[in-house]
Amino acid sequence: MAKSRAAVRTAGRRLLRRGARGVRKTVFQRWRVLAFLAILGPGMITANAGNDAGGIATFASVGAELGYRLLWVLIPITISLGLVQEMCARMGAVTGKGLADLIRERFGVRWTALVMLALLIANGGVTVSEFVGIAAATELLGVSRFISVPLAAISIWWLVVKGSYQRVERVFLLMSLVFLGYIVSAFLAHPDWGTVFTSLVKPSFQIDRAYLFTFVAVVGTTISPYMQVYVQSSVVEKGVTPEDYPKTRTDVWIGTIFAILIVFFIVISTAATLHKYGGIKIDTAADAARALAPLAGVYAEQLFAIGLFGASMLAAGVLPLATAYSITEALGFEKGVSRSFREAPIFLGIFTFLVAVGAGIAVIPELPLIKVLLVTQVINGLLLPVVLFAVLRLVNNRELMGAHVNGPFYNIASWLTATLVTSLSLLLIVVTLFPGSFGK
């Protein structure tokens, strides 16, 4: 009897120990998830804002016209985007100043004014395209643009003008979740995964205009000047210090990898359907969504439309904010999402103006959007080299960055990235303006 009681007590202690270990494990797992979510912010938002309406249209056309042949480009693009974003985030944490602020201090007011004017025109045009993306997505879901665009504009304006930085960041991060719809859409397309992964690791290149134009457009669409401005300014406004920076660096790389994974699934979904069944030509993301319906089902179309809506909403908030940050920094005015109109009238005034103009133009019937995007694409292409080489000069300035300048290997990779991206950006302008330059 005594033995049986002792055995029961021993068994009970074992169960308690197991239960305690289970509780500790569950608590640790939850803590890890919360810690992971806590570091997400500027890096995740900026990289995903790059997958805007124009970007989605570009990536969808890559799959529709070339199939899986350009998937290999996504690996070097991931590295390039991560390097550029990381340098800007690091400058924000170390200096406590935005990119436009540093350009004005180091390169002079006149040069800064020219860059900011170009950025204002380019970002204004792209902001219009984001509201057009909202209109197209909601019309696919059965809602008129005359209802959806004004509601979207008011929502974005209210969030930024009436909210704090923390609230804006949380909402922008939630918007990033809609990109998960593209992953589901890719699986609904039933791709040949063997061919997908072979194309991902086996580079292919061909010299013809269509391939070259698409190749260069992918790079130019993925790395845009406003992204560098936004990530650095938001790191500053978040109050990241050099001591906190390792978490932000993790955020930048997680955001970059997540954003390029979404590009990967967008290309797969259109390659497995639109390219496989005849290489259907598409000009917009809405065209891609409509074309998917008969081939991959109505759910694929709806998921693509929802993804387009979320992407356009995110970019329609980030683009005007990046522009407002850059101009107010360049001119030395007060700035910040957490500021009121009385405290930062220029900052919030620029943001309000861009949102209002973007939404107002987007509801105009028969809008010549392609011409607008052509102009903004050329301006961004000319502006990107200026911004990239300014970033490299600033981040290697020991007086400015101290011990946080680039190391030798990092510097080689960064200069190589800047040179290649600049060459491709300028090549895109040539191909865009002179379409017959590289044959048929």
CATH number, domain at 391?
Answer: 1.20.1740.10
Residue 438 lies in a domain: no
- Give pLDDT, residue 216: 72
Residue indicated by tokens 């865009």: 432
Residue 303 lies in a domain: yes
- Give pLDDT, residue 59: 86
Shared domain check, 321 and 186: yes
> How far is Cα 424 from Cα 419, in angstroms, rounded to an integer?
9
Shared domain check, 29 and 100: no
Domain count, the chain: 2
Shared domain check, 184 and 318: yes
pTM for the model = 0.83
> How far is Cα 144 from Cα 158, in angstroms, rounded to an integer?
21
Residue 196 lies in a domain: yes
Shared domain check, 114 and 81: yes
- Give pLDDT, residue 146: 92
Residue 194 CA, distance from chain mean position: 28
* Cβ-proximal residues to 192 (8 Å cutoff; 6+ apart), any chain: 272
CB atoms within 10 A of CB 368: 9
- Give pLDDT, residue 261: 93
Residues 247-265 as b/e (b if ≥16 CB within 10 A, e otherwise) read bbbebbbbbbebbbebbbb
- Give pLDDT, residue 35: 46
**Tokens standing for residue 38:** 């806590």
* Cβ-proximal residues to 191 (8 Å cutoff; 6+ apart), any chain: 268, 269, 271, 272
Shared domain check, 70 and 217: yes
> How far is Cα 104 from Cα 106, in angstroms, rounded to an integer?
6
Residue indicated by tokens 């699934």: 265
**Residue-number span of the structural domain to which 67 is assigned:** 43-433
- Give pLDDT, residue 29: 45
Shared domain check, 162 and 138: yes
Shared domain check, 2 and 80: no
Three-state DSSP state, 406: coil
Shared domain check, 60 and 31: no
Residue 8 lies in a domain: yes
- Give pLDDT, residue 120: 85
Tell me the one-letter amino acid at 342: R
In the chain, which stretches have pLDDT less than 50? Answer: 23-37
Tell me the one-letter amino acid at 385: P
Q: How far lies 33's CA from each of 36, 39, 250, 253, in Å?
A: 5, 10, 14, 17
Q: How far lies 37's CA from each of 136, 247, 315, 333, 377, in Å?
A: 32, 11, 21, 33, 34
> How far is Cα 390 from Cα 385, in angstroms, rounded to an integer?
8
Contact 125, 372 (CB under 8 A): yes
Residue 194 lies in a domain: yes
Residue 13 lies in a domain: yes
> How far is Cα 372 from Cα 134, in angstroms, rounded to an integer?
17
Shared domain check, 229 and 179: yes
> How far is Cα 292 from Cα 273, in angstroms, rounded to an integer?
7
- Nearest to 330, CA basis, from 229, 399, 234: 229
Residue 439 lies in a domain: no
Residue 440 lies in a domain: no
Shared domain check, 33 and 176: no
- Give pLDDT, residue 380: 73
CB atoms within 10 A of CB 55: 25
Shared domain check, 340 and 417: yes
Shared domain check, 119 and 35: no
